[in-house]
Amino acid sequence: TDADLTIGTKINVWGREVTICDMDEFTAHHYNSKFGMAKPTPIHYKQTDAAKTEREIPPYNGWGSEEDSRANCLKLIAQAPKRDFIKFMKKDRQGLDSHVLRFFARLDTNRPIDMDRTFIISFFLSDDTISVFEPEKRNSGIVHGKFIERSKIKKPSGEYYQAEDIFVGAVVNFRSHQFVITDADEYALSYAEKHQD
């Protein structure tokens, strides 16, 4: 009955023990008029700001993009991370301007089997993503094709690679693979000349 439900009472709700902590003014008036009972002192149940623990984001496990994994940790219903739409529209393909910087590279290694391998590194200006492709080389015994899928890649320092970090002669580290940039296509060279600052 309603006499059993007072502040401090513990009740079983679908197998869970719930404590009644407070009541509204209408309920307090009802108990006062029916049972002659004054409103008891509410039980403090809200967590203080000082007691709140900061949410800890687990380390990136390598599946999907890091931004996507982080977004899944912040919300119960997963949402795709938001992109810079204005930058995407400015740097998306327009006519003959691809807004993709392509570089030729080789692995920085002493292993004989890997020394002759060549790669095409593409830097997409629209979203600062990088992809690495290995062209076919007949009778090499190495599977050609996509080497690193298009995604944002972090430097060993923890910052993301930007367009100014990739140039002819640079040594870059993509997912524990070190590449030496040996050449660039015409668009990448003209872009570098226009954006020397």
85-135, pLDDT tens digit by residue? 677 667 766 655 678 899 999 999 888 888 889 999 999 988 889 999 999
Q: Residue 71, exposed/middle/buried by CB under 10 A (0-12, 13-18, 19+)?
A: middle
Q: Identify the pLDDT of residue 95.
A: 59
The answer to which of 9-13, 21-25, 50-54, 181-185 has the lowest mean pLDDT is 50-54
- Continuous H helices in the chain: 25-35, 66-74, 85-91, 112-115, 186-194
Per-residue pLDDT band for 31 (boundaries 50, 70, 90) equals confident
Question: By C-alpha distance, which of 122, 87, 100, 95 is closest to 191?
Answer: 100
Q: Identify the pLDDT of residue 73.
A: 80
**Mode of pairing for the β-strands spanning 145-151 and 177-184:** unpaired
Cα–Cα distance for residue pair 173/107, rounded to 1 Å = 10
Q: Identify the pLDDT of residue 76.
A: 76
**Mode of pairing for the β-strands spanning 118-124 and 100-107:** antiparallel
The mean pLDDT value of the chain amounts to 83
